[in-house]
Structure 1
Amino acid sequence: MADKLNSLLVKLQTEAIEYRKTLVDSGQLVSCERFCKLAGVDAKYIETAIIAQTLFKFEINGEFFYPRFYTEHETQVRLNIEKISGALGNLDAAQKWQFFTRPKHSLGGITPIQAIVGGQFDRAAIAAQGFISRRVTYCWNRLGLKTIKQSAALKVSKVEAVRINQVS
Structure 2
Amino acid sequence: MAAVAAVLFDPAAAAALLEIPDAELGRLFKIRLMQIAGLSTVLDPDGDLSRRPSRPAWNKVKRGSERGKSARHVLVAKGKLLHLTDFLAASGISEHRLAKDVAARRLFSVQIGRDACYPAFFLVDELDRKALAKVSRRLGNVAGWRKWKFFTTPKTTLGNSTPLQALMRGDAKQVLRSAAAFADK
Q: Shorter chain as normaliser: what TM range? A: 0.5 to 0.7
Within 5 Å, give how 1:39-118 maps onto structure 2. Answer: 39-74=91-126, 77-118=128-169
| Deviation readout 1:141-167 (Å, 9 max, x if unpaired) | xxxxxxxxxxxxxxxxxxxxxxxxxxx
Residue among 96, 103, 126 paired with 2:177: 126
Moved over 4 A (4+): none
Indicate if the aligned counterparts of 2:111 and 2:144 stay in contact, CA closer than 8 A.
no
C-alpha distance in 2 between matches for 1:12 and 1:31:
20
**Residue 13 of structure 1: SS of its match in structure 2?**
coil
Structure with the bigger percentage of helix: 1
| Alignment-derived partner of residue 16 in structure 1 | 68
For the residue of structure 2 that corresponds to 1:65, the secondary structure is: strand
| Superimposed CA distance per residue, residues 34-91 of structure 1 (whole angstroms, 9 cap, x where no aligned partner) | 11222221111211111112211122232221000000125x7122111111110000
Length-normalised TM-score, structure 1: 0.67
Residues 1:30 and 2:99 aligned together = no
Equivalenced residue count is 123
Instruction: Using the aligned pairs only, state the percent identity.
Output: 31
Query: Which protein shows a greater Rg?
Result: 1
Mapped partners of 1:68, 1:51: distance in 2: 18
- List aligned pairs for 1:140-159, cutoff 5 A: none
Q: Letter of the 1:104 partner, please give it.
A: K
- The separation in 2 between residues aligned to 1:101 and 1:82, in whole angstroms, is 15
Q: What RMSD, in angstroms, separates the aligned Cα atoms of the two structures?
A: 1.7
* C-alpha distance after superposition, 1:14-45 (max 9, x if no partner): 24332211110111000112112222211112
Q: Which has the higher contact order (CA 8 A, sep 6+)?
A: 2
TM-score by length of 2: 0.62
In 2: Cα distance, 1:55 partner to 1:16 partner: 23
